[in-house]
Amino acid sequence: MEEKTEKRGFSSVRPRRLRGIRLLREMVAGTRLAARDFVWPVFVRLGQGIRTPIGSMPGVFQYSPEVAVEELRRAADEGIGAFLLFGITDADKKDATGSHAHDENNAVCTTLRAVKDAKLPLVAITDLCYCEYTSHGHCGRLRGDQSGVDNDETVAALGHQAALHARCGADVVAPSAAMDHMVAAIRAALDAGAYEDTAILSYAVKYASAFYGPFREAAESPPQFGDRKGYQMDFRRGEAEALREAALDVAEGADLVMVKPGVAYLDILRAVSEASPVPTAVYQVSGEYAMLKAAAAKGWIDERAVVEETMHAFKRAGAAFVVTYYARELARWVR
């Protein structure tokens, strides 16, 4: 006798049908990575032939301007479309006001001119802040009683710094000082200097984070007293404050906004990217990078797989692009 086969009570819906064939998975992938999705942070200091490794950030270096140009040339060949420039200041050039930030022959300005002279096909973005230039390591000028950063004095100085960078070749300026109304001051200074086409990428949503530790070694910019919690955002606050900060900067003239750090703030990134009328970026910061490098060195993770998974998370959450120290490795991997 023929045996009867009992029908199982399963639904006809089987999501795994779209997962069984690799090419089909590629066809229906919701997010994709390309080299142009990544911005490479670059640390420069005055000198010649400098290529100093950062101990806490394997694969990251401080470069002298001419070395930076050669590395940027290679990065462009690898498919990178943009870089973010940070200037390192020798101790003897630091002072209470960060005056070296306004020297047209400092490391940032010298590198910008060299990049433009080399006609590299890259968007030149410069960080605007004072922590790398001040003797006290804070992000702006201090009040007379040294009780904290003077917001209004600092935003006026940031406008000066922005116009200088634009004159030397910056396509985009990126204020990271976390001062109220810094975008308005920068936009006014750029427009007054006939740099109305220079864009502003504001670190609009920047938290006082423990993930920044290795950066302070790379930029030689730890605060000499106190901390930056008085002006950077409190990570215990919710989406409402982040949305308010981003909206204020857009209203003042920001062309792009950024959330920083990355992985621990995906909820914030999603909220800002959905609400903002301008593109939203995210910064995978030094501590995030250093942890992945350390785990990979121990053989505890598949580095490429984890990094690519993280980048997809940023893109899913709404990032138009990612500032990451992995930029060049990612450009090679995704190519």
User: What are the DSSP calls for 157-180, one per residue?
Assistant: HHHHHHHHHHHHT-SEEEE-S--T
Does the active-site annotation cover 206? Answer: yes
Torsion angle of the four alpha carbons 282, 285, 289, 292, in this order, in degrees rounded to the nearest 10: -70
Query: Given 94, 206, 293, 315, which residue is catalytic?
Result: 206
Residue 306 CB coordination number (10 Å): 14
For 88, which DSSP code? -
For 203, which DSSP code? E
Asked whether 323 and 248 are in contact (CB, 8 A), the reply is no
Per-residue b or e along 221-237, where b marks 16 or more CB atoms closer than 10 Å to that residue's CB: beeeeeebeebbbeeee
Query: Given 4, 119, 260, 293, which residue is catalytic?
Result: 260
β-sheet bridge partners, residue 172: 125, 199
Residue among 134, 127, 81, 80 at smallest CA distance from 108: 127
User: Beta-strand (E) ranges in 76-134?
Assistant: 82-87, 123-128
Does the active-site annotation cover 93? Answer: no
Residue 280 CB coordination number (10 Å): 24
Q: Which residues are tagged catalytic?
A: 206, 260
